[in-house]
Structure 1
């Protein structure tokens, strides 16, 4: 169980690190755009991402 959790977190770190590594200037531009988005929109986006992630986890298992 713990090894699966650590493995999943490690994979998230690899995926999250790809953009700053491959295209740091574009990544910085995206971050500046995200700062201008209101909190409600970010919350909805986060909820949708969680729902998609849970669906994919359920589908894979």
Structure 2
């Protein structure tokens, strides 16, 4: 359980770096992402899930 909480904390740190250090660029990037077609967003999301799962499994074994 501690590992999950640590992972969540790290996720929040990494997610906060963009808007904290580069707010204008971050806002533009979010705007561009919002304009992408739904299918493209689904593909990106699925790809991120798969990469994350591979990293977790790789580090676990």
Q: Measure how far apart 1:4 and its partner are.
A: 1.3
Q: Post-superposition, which runs of at least 4 consecutive aligned residues in structure 1 deviate over 3 A?
A: none
Q: Measure how far apart 1:6 and its partner are.
A: 1.1
Q: CA RMSD in A?
A: 0.7
Equivalenced residues, count:
60
TM-score calculated relative to the size of structure 1: 0.92
Structure 2 counterpart SS, 1:37: coil
Q: Structure 2, unaligned stretches of length 5 or more?
A: none
Q: Structure 1, unaligned stretches of length 5 or more?
A: none
Task: Please tell me whether residue 57 in structure 1 is matched to residue 56 in structure 2.
Answer: yes
TM-score calculated relative to the size of structure 2: 0.92
Q: Deviations over 1:9-52 (max 9, x none)?
A: 11000000000011000000001101100111101100011101
